[in-house]
């Protein structure tokens, strides 16, 4: 460790914004720095990663950015594997400026090339067996990293009744929620997903809202902890991000928009309960997309009439990008829920 990199803590420390009397938002500049740093430090502590050693990961988003920042500051040798449909030039250039080697897999149909990315990663691991692969989807240290967020929440807010968060790896929601439930067993946990993500039983398909959802089910997602799941389409998520900016001067990314939409609805419905929502990153990366009128105008269905509340489903069902649905999940394990759905 090169030391003297405490300034990175500012990226992983959320500001708490009170959006309503009973609604607090934990606004992160770059949330993924929290698990990235924790995983690398734990790996160094137990010898899975040596100082300055090689690190490789398959990622298309902010986890890769966080790893690249750490690699730059702490002198790791980082290789990232992404897919053409998942990464834009701006991010790729930023990663490369930070010193990361970026492999990009071609995926003309925009599938995300999950399988091919893993194949490439395995080839890298085979080539250099001393490489540390953080495996954010399955590494339990991902969830453990969120003790720091839960500490900030209890320190500043005290009692919490409901936690709302996006799910991609499951680390932030299930990690933070798990720590809070040791103190508040009755805590309601609401997962925010998007249509055609497989996390809560949709068939995989093209998704316009990136940074949450997944085309595989990570083991850091603990379905049996989740009380309620919301599927937010890309358009209401974008609209909500705009409102966060306009009403609260919070310049956050589109997944933050999705989470804030769900949290504000829950807080309105439960005025006596304290709701906390995790907003994982800022809007800068989306300046030319979600915050660009021309880009938005080209979207089918934009401008969207902002729904006030979700449609409550009684079965798992994917909808269009303009829609917002919810299902009472009731802390069931995934197979139970999905089998019941299929009438097995």
Residues in the site for other proteins, rule: CB under 8 A? Answer: 42, 141, 144-145, 147-148, 150-159, 179-180, 182-184
Minimum distance from residue 29 beta carbon to other proteins (Å): 20
Question: CA 327, CA 316: separation in Å to the nearest integer?
Answer: 7
Q: Which is nearer to other proteins, 185 or 343 (CB)?
A: 185
Question: CA 222, CA 293: separation in Å to the nearest integer?
Answer: 38
Minimum distance from residue 144 beta carbon to other proteins (Å): 5
Minimum distance from residue 335 beta carbon to other proteins (Å): 24
* C-beta separation of 237 from 194 below 8 A: yes
Minimum distance from residue 91 beta carbon to other proteins (Å): 30
Structure-block tokens of residue 229: 């799941």
Question: CA 218, CA 223: separation in Å to the nearest integer?
Answer: 10
Q: Which is nearer to other proteins, 151 or 330 (CB)?
A: 151
**CA–CA distance from 66 to each of 7, 118, 317 (Å)?**
13, 20, 34
Q: Which is nearer to other proteins, 156 or 292 (CB)?
A: 156
Q: Which is nearer to other proteins, 156 or 341 (CB)?
A: 156
Q: Which is nearer to other proteins, 99 or 140 (CB)?
A: 140
Q: What is the residue whose two structure tokens read 């090689």?
A: 54
Residue 274: partners with Cβ closer than 8 Å, 6 or more residues away: 22, 24, 157, 159, 160, 161, 162
Sheet containing strand 101-105, edge to edge, reads 54-58, 77-83, 101-105
Minimum distance from residue 141 beta carbon to other proteins (Å): 8
Beta strands in the chain (DSSP E): 15-20, 23-27, 54-58, 77-83, 101-105, 162-166, 188-193, 228-232, 275-279, 311-312, 324-328
Q: Which is nearer to other proteins, 159 or 284 (CB)?
A: 159
Minimum distance from residue 58 beta carbon to other proteins (Å): 25
């Amino acid at each position: 460790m090169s030391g003297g990199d405490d300034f990175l803590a500012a990226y992983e420390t959320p500001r708490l914004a009170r959006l309503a009397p009973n609604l607090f938002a934990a606004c992160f500049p770059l949330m993924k720095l929290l698990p990235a740093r924790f995983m690398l430090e734990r790996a160094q502590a137990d010898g899975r990663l040596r100082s300055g050693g090689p690190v490789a990961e398959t990622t298309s988003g902010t986890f890769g950015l966080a790893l690249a920042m750490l690699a730059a500051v702490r002198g790791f040798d980082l290789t990232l594997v992404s897919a053409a449909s998942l990464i834009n030039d701006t991010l790729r250039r930023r990663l490369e400026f930070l010193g990361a080697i970026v492999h990009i897999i071609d995926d003309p149909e925009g599938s995300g090339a999950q399988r091919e990315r893993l194949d490439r990663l395995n080839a890298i691991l085979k080539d250099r067996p001393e490489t540390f692969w953080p495996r954010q989807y399955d590494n339990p240290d991902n969830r453990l990293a969120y003790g720091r967020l839960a500490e900030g929440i209890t320190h500043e807010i005290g009692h919490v009744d409901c936690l709302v968060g996006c799910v991609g790896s499951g680390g932030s929601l299930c990690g933070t929620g798990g720590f809070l439930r040791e103190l508040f067993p009755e805590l309601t946990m609401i997962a925010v997903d998007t249509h055609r993500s497989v996390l809560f039983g949709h068939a995989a398909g093209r998704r316009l809202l990136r940074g949450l959802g997944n085309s595989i089910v990570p083991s850091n997602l603990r379905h049996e902890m989740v009380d309620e799941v919301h599927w937010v389409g890309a358009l209401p998520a974008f609209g909500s991000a705009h409102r966060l900016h306009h009403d609260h001067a919070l310049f956050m990314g589109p997944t933050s928009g999705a989470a804030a939409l769900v949290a504000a609805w829950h807080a309105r419905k439960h005025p006596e309960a304290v709701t906390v929502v995790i907003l994982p990153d800022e809007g800068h990366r989306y300046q030319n997309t979600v915050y660009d009128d021309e880009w938005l105008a080209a979207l089918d269905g934009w401008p969207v009439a902002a729904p006030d509340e979700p449609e409550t489903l009684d079965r798992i069902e994917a909808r269009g990008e303009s829609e917002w649905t919810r299902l009472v999940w009731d802390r069931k394990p995934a197979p139970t829920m999905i089998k019941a759905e299929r009438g097995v």
